[in-house]
Amino acid sequence: MFSAEEYADVEEFYAQERPTMLHTFPSLAEKLGLGELMVKEETSRQGLPAFKVLGVKYAVERLRREGRLPPDAVVACATDGNHGRAVARVAARLGMEAHIFLPAHASERRIESIRGEGAHVHLAVGNYDEAVRQAARESQAHGWVLLSDTSWPGYEEIPRWVMAGYTHILAEASRQWIEPPDVVFVQAGVGGLACGAGSWFAQQFGKWRPFLALCQAANAACIVERARRGVAVRLEGGLETVMDCLSAGEVSYAAWPVIERLYDAYVGVEEEEAVEAAGVLRENGIPAGYSGACGFAALWATMRQENMAGLRAAAGMGKGTRAMVIVTEAQA
Ligand SMILES: Cc1ncc(COP(=O)(O)O)c(C=O)c1O
């Protein structure tokens, strides 16, 4: 998705970034019948409890370089929680006003965490996708700069920069691992992280890239369904899940073609699987939230459930496999 210059630019921009941990868990790997288990822990990134600020900061940097974000700009976005908090944080640091749109069912905790960054919070009349449409409409009406992490036809440039920013997680991990993973499970809401991660692996390793599995909350699995049905999908309703940061009814327009080309498998994660996986991570010292634990939950289910034998075989998973997941968010 990105040119070599763009990956290099992201790394130059994040040259002073303090790395998050890449853990290995030999005993858990053995328990799962794997050779190695790598866990990239994004529970604290720049003082926020998720990775999302990496995308926001890089997109803001690109806009500022082009003179498209003057000091008196007002910014806006929709969010399930983390992207909006990151936008609010970055805007406040730059002295800019921010308007953040959340789904109607957003928890008080999410709302307060964004208000706590000094942003104006608006509750949409419906789900996350309605919040996306409302943020776009209001931005258009008021001349705000829309900093969306999801994209649609005609609005792709900023989400692309956001996804480029996420690639730093993998670039950083590559300086921490001894050997690259053979299999990677990446959780998705609208697919931005999955697109960024998949693109990075493809750029680094070409056809020798790891087996890539995308996972989502089964209750809001728009990308899993998109892949399964082979046609555009828009899921309706509240799409409520304990993995609340992954609640989205539509895949990001710019992300899908890349995901479709690069991902080898799609996994829906049940609510109780996410809860169990977060419990296992916490017992092992990683304070994972449920959205954050989704990738690990999919890996855990893949290795332990009889009905996942097909995926294990397709990915060639066994005692020699190095598997990797990203814990994308901390426990509240
Ligand atoms: C904690 C967490 N994990 C994963 C994701 C998925 O990212 P994306 O929506 O880009 O697929 C999000 C998105 O907000 C998130 O907050």
Domain coordinates in residue numbering, the chain? 4-50+163-327, 53-158
What per-residue confidence (pLDDT) applies to 312? 98
Domain 53-158 fold is: Rossmann fold (3.40.50)
Q: Which residues are paired to 183 by β-bridges?
A: 211, 323
pTM of structure: 0.98
What per-residue confidence (pLDDT) applies to 49? 98
Atom of ligand 1 lying closest to residue 82 CA: 16
Q: Which region holds residue 160: left if phi is over 0, alpha if psi is between -120 and 50, else beta?
A: alpha
What per-residue confidence (pLDDT) applies to 250? 97
Question: Pocket around ligand 1: residues whose beta carbon is below 6 Å from it?
Answer: 50, 52, 80, 82-83, 149, 187-194, 245-246, 291-292, 328-329
CA dihedral (84, 85, 88, 91) positive or negative: negative
Among residues 227, 185, 211, 220, the alpha carbon closest in space to that of 328 is found at 185
Fold equal for 4-50+163-327 and 53-158:
yes
Checking 61-70 for CB contacts under 8 A at 24+ apart, the result is 61/13, 62/161, 63/145, 63/158, 63/161, 68/145, 69/94, 69/96, 69/145
What per-residue confidence (pLDDT) applies to 269? 98
Pocket test residue of 241, 263, 291 for ligand 1, highest count of atoms within 8 A of CB: 291
Q: How many whole angstroms from 245 Cα to the centroid of ligand 1?
A: 6
CA–CA dist 159, 152 (Å, integer): 9
**What CATH number is given for 4-50+163-327 in this structure?**
3.40.50.1100
Q: How many whole angstroms from 301 Cα to the centroid of ligand 1?
A: 20
What per-residue confidence (pLDDT) applies to 108? 97
Blockwise average pLDDT, block size 10, the chain, 332 residues: 97 98 98 98 98 98 97 97 98 98 96 98 96 98 98 98 98 98 98 98 98 98 97 94 96 98 98 98 98 98 98 98 98 94
Q: How many whole angstroms from 194 Cα to the centroid of ligand 1?
A: 9
CA dihedral (41, 42, 44, 50) positive or negative: negative
Q: Supply the residue whose CA is at minimum distance from atom 9 of ligand 1.
A: 189
Atom of ligand 1 lying closest to residue 83 CA: 14
Atom of ligand 1 lying closest to residue 55 CA: 10
Q: Supply the residue whose CA is at minimum distance from atom 3 of ligand 1.
A: 328
